[in-house]
Chains A and B, each alone.
Chain A
């Protein structure tokens, strides 16, 4: 197991060469930036690394956008273990970075400590909440998007059975599940929601075979739509959907294109946009601390419709879901939140 893991890690050592080659930013040659002329942003990705095709990847896209559009100088590291967060964040703080962004709730403690030690620096935590005068917390109302795709699933299901496959069994994913089930029940009170989790360790995010196995077993029990919130394991669910000619729903990024015709929609969690906007505000000198919630209202959370899935969703379904969306935004419909249960 150790060997396989390290092999995977070794292979990913070479892959990012191309990307960073394009960046071609050598720190040693950088002239110290004039105030706000060039924003310097540091990213600390969590253990999954920037190529996890999930929230780290999404944040990475935001970073690249900031680099292109804002001409910001970007530096990132990928933590090797939980202890590393704090020392990495502090190392960045000691240097001349204006904005230091930690990705993932696991970094909350570390951000809190680093922010207290370097009050003059600006920090950002994605997916977690840290109360400090120099920290912005970017939080997403995943349950709202899950609610909508749950509704889509129930409306599209012919069998009255919909499925959910979570990655690691943690509160965040429970939040997805709860919203999804509630959305489905809202549309069809008799709908049956079957849930499975890939596992309870970090490996759960990267186990496509297990994802496929669970999906196949759900499909064979009569489920015809599966929403997977399982990181890279989701690709196994997609394969199963194609094989069984059933439907699935993507997560975080727009994944409609992966198996056209089998992906009903994707629940969008726009970390990239949130990260970019934060960088933009900082570059304009408008950084503010505090919690920023991204939900349907702010379009930080949404569901995807594009050329790959517009034929899969009937106009009736679209209409119902759009109405539901408006009701959630207006507060008419309350979406249950696992965090507040």
Chain B
């Protein structure tokens, strides 16, 4: 009977792997039907989307450039989920991370070359981590719910980063609300292979972060304790795990991961902090984590998918008459809906197995 069991299990595994893929295709199909309704040829739309996202090395570069911050925020949200916390504050955390990276680059222009980007990267992590620590501490020690606190801190972060940008680090040359440019030693050059795109090594940092998170969560005692708290706080407490501490650590790390967004955006791309540079990466991270089932590998895949949709939607706006950038949002929404329709897939699973 155990052999039969294993057979069941492997089928179960295959289903688990296939389900998101099917769900994505399903969501995509509905989205394309909507374009048909809007008066476009869905096949044409799909071709533009695919070509725009993956059609050339430049396009792949842009897709991966967009995916990079989503990996960071996806991981940030995921580590929260594993510890039983809903981190809606990645948007504020990444703003602080990016500002810190820019601030270091502006205020310490004489740091030697190889050290400079490392310093700015650490600053980005630390600043994000501080912005994660606060709601973590409030939750653990004061019982204030992190959902409310992280949302509120997003507003505080928006205000504070804007104030610092406009009053302390203001660019004198630009009319844009942005800081001065960071010193040349801090710049991370983009990948030449991908042509004229801002795609840069922060993507590799994202992959390393994903791997590190996997090791942390599934191979270490600390990760085990965090996940135990996330799954059943009472049982964890009875087992002698300090759930308050785990929560603080989880949200601090979550903040730091979100803060890493600044590395690619500031050091690798814009070379300064621009107010409102993020088109909601922190919130999209929630969807990425959901789609990636909170697994690092899944998050990388989901982030690339979202990056592709984001990139594809731009060209869709350009190449078609009736479809705008908003289609990408609809597609994202449909895919999230399709993937998260657990009840529906449970039925399918029962029918298939």
Query: Which residue numbers of A lie inside 8 Å of B, CB to CB?
Result: 1-2, 5-6, 9-10, 12-13, 16-17, 20-21, 23-27, 47, 75, 77-84, 87-88, 90-92, 105-106, 108, 117, 127-128, 168-172, 199-202, 339
Contacts and interface: CB of A to CB of B under 8 A. Distances in A.
Interface in B261-280: 269-270, 274-280
A12 B176 CA distance: 26
B317 A78 contact: yes
B286 A80 contact: no
Interface stretch (B6-14, B102-110, B321-329): B321-329
B86 to A, nearest CB: 13
A169 B314 contact: no
Given A6-B329, A169-B162, A87 B280 contact: no
Contacts of A9: 326, 329
Given A9-B329, A17-B322, A20-B321, A84 B286 contact: no
A83 B198 contact: yes
Interface of B: 38, 62, 65-66, 151, 154, 158-159, 162-163, 166, 174-177, 196-198, 269-270, 274-280, 283-284, 286, 310, 313-315, 317-319, 321-322, 324-330, 333
Contacts of A339: 175
A80 B175 contact: no
Given A75-B318, A82-B274, A168-B177, A1 B329 contact: no
Contact of B175 (A25, A82, A105): A105
Interface centre among B175, B275, B276, B327 (most CB of A within 10 A): B175
B314 A10 contact: no
Nearest to B270: A82
Contact of A77 (B158, B318, B327, B329): B318
A286 B178 CA distance: 35
A27 B177 contact: no
A224 B341 CA distance: 55
B149 to A, nearest CB: 14
16 contacts: A2-B283, A2-B284, A9-B329, A17-B322, A78-B325, A82-B277, A83-B270, A88-B318, A91-B315, A92-B318, A106-B176, A108-B176, A117-B196, A200-B177, A200-B275, A202-B276
Nearest to A172: B175
Contacts of B284: 2
A169 B196 CA distance: 33
- Pairs of residues from A and B, 4 with the lowest C-beta to C-beta distance, nearest first: A200-B162, A13-B326, A2-B283, A81-B279
A174 to B, nearest CB: 10
B318 A201 contact: no
Contact of B283 (A1, A12, A78, A106): A1
A80 B66 CA distance: 11
Nearest to A107: B176
Contacts of B38: 17
Contacts of B324: 13, 16, 78
A100 to B, nearest CB: 12
A82 B321 CA distance: 23
Nearest to B38: A17
Contacts of B176: 105-106, 108, 170
Given A105-B174, A169-B177, 15 more contacts: A1-B151, A9-B326, A10-B329, A13-B327, A75-B318, A77-B317, A78-B325, A79-B325, A80-B310, A81-B279, A81-B310, A87-B314, A88-B318, A106-B274, A108-B176
Nearest to A169: B166
A83 B65 CA distance: 10
B314 A77 contact: yes
Contacts of A20: 321-322
A47 B330 contact: no
A16 B276 CA distance: 25
B319 A27 contact: yes
B282 to A, nearest CB: 9
Contacts of A1: 151, 154, 283
A10 B330 contact: yes
A117 B58 CA distance: 15
A94 B276 CA distance: 29
Contacts of A106: 176, 274
A131 B328 CA distance: 35
B200 to A, nearest CB: 12
Nearest to A338: B175
A117 B197 CA distance: 13
Contact of B158 (A5, A10, A108, A200): A200
B321 A23 contact: yes
- Which among B66, B158, B314 has the greatest number of chain A C-beta atoms within 10 A? B314
B172 to A, nearest CB: 10
A2 B285 CA distance: 11
Residue of A1, A88, A172 with most partner-chain B CB within 10 A: A1
Contacts of A170: 166, 175-177
Contacts of A47: 276, 279
Given A84-B314, A170-B177, A77 B325 contact: yes
Nearest to A42: B318
Contact of B333 (A10, A16, A83): A10
Nearest to A106: B176
A13 B320 CA distance: 14
Nearest to B161: A200
Contacts of B151: 1
B163 A6 contact: no
Contacts of B279: 47, 80-82
A10 B337 CA distance: 15
A169 B275 CA distance: 11
Nearest to B44: A28
A5 B280 contact: yes
